[in-house]
Amino acid sequence: MTTPADTSGAGMPAGSVPLTSVPQDAPVDRATAAARRVVEALLLTDRANANLERVAEELNGIAEHLEQHAPAVRDRMVDMWGGEGVTRHDPVTGLENAIALPLIVYGLPDGSVRGETTVTIPYQGPPGCVHGGVSALLLDHTLGVANMWAGRDGMTAQLNVRYHRPTPLFEPLQINGRQESVDGRKIRTTGDIRTAEGEVCVSVEGLFVDKKVPRPR
């Protein structure tokens, strides 16, 4: 994605706080942003005129450099789950994950959460529209963050997704989540994706069960 994440919290109610990573001026953030730019440019470039042989060679060279410096996956996972944890690496908000939009999710004073993003070509489903699986991914994760914000979280047991209208690419979208109730270990959480005009494109009802998978150590 080439749309930079909005870290200002502009448009969020006063008192909102970021619950997921915000960009740092770190080489890994810049490298990941460049990788997102490459993904989008590869989709958009003119197949006949761009020198894709050279591109393939240079990208493979970059991958070889990164792989030469990669520790064992298990050690990397211990590292990932320490410190700031998943929010820098997950596939929705992770600033170190080139497939993440990335989205920044804010906790609002009313107990709900919200993120704003513009989705572009790599996540296209129907022509000019967001892929339905990507919408479900965005909402599953946002509901998980809503549960964290509400103080009781768990694993997704069910996600009931309703697609009301096509979700447009290239337009600002609001991703909302709110924990509705807790009943023993069962947590019910809802959310939606809206256009800037407030039209609901996708809504979800999630059932989460309070269960933790241990962090790698």
Q: From CA 23, how far away is CA 60, in angstroms rounded?
A: 26
Give me 99's structure tokens.
């497939």
* Residue 211 lies near ligand MFK (rule: CB under 6 A): yes
Q: Which stretch binds ligand MFK (CB under 6 A): 7-15, 51-59, 183-191, 194-202?
A: 183-191
* Residue 30 lies near ligand MFK (rule: CB under 6 A): no
- Residue 37 CB, nearest approach to ligand MFK (Å): 26
Q: From CA 158, how far away is CA 206, in angstroms rounded?
A: 6
Return the beta strands (E) in 137-211 as ranges: 155-163, 172-183, 186-195, 200-209
Place of tokens 């964290």: 148
Q: Which stretch binds ligand MFK (CB under 6 A): 3-11, 50-58, 114-122, 203-211?
A: 203-211
Q: From CA 94, how far away is CA 102, in angstroms rounded?
A: 6
- Residue in the shown chain whose Cβ atom is closest to ligand MFK: 144
Q: Select the residue interacting with ligand MFK from 158, 160, 164, 165 (CB under 6 A).
A: 158
With vertex at residue 17, the alpha carbon angle to CA 159 and CA 142, rounded to the nearest 5 degrees, is 10
Q: Select the residue interacting with ligand MFK from 1, 12, 19, 95 (CB under 6 A).
A: 19
Confirm if 177 and 139 have CB atoms less than 8 A apart. yes
- Residue 134 CB, nearest approach to ligand MFK (Å): 14
* Residue 145 lies near ligand MFK (rule: CB under 6 A): yes
Binding mask 86-105 for ligand MFK (x = CB under 6 A): xx------------------
* Residue 156 lies near ligand MFK (rule: CB under 6 A): yes
Pairing of β 105-107 and β 186-195: unpaired
What 3-state DSSP class applies to 11?
A: coil
Q: Select the residue interacting with ligand MFK from 110, 155, 170, 215 (CB under 6 A).
A: 155
Q: Give the residue from 132, 116, 117, 110 showing the smallest Cα distance to 179.
A: 110
Considering only residues 160 through 179, tell me which ones interact with ligand MFK, judged by CB under 6 A: none
- Residue 8 CB, nearest approach to ligand MFK (Å): 20
Q: Select the residue interacting with ligand MFK from 41, 186, 196, 199 (CB under 6 A).
A: 186
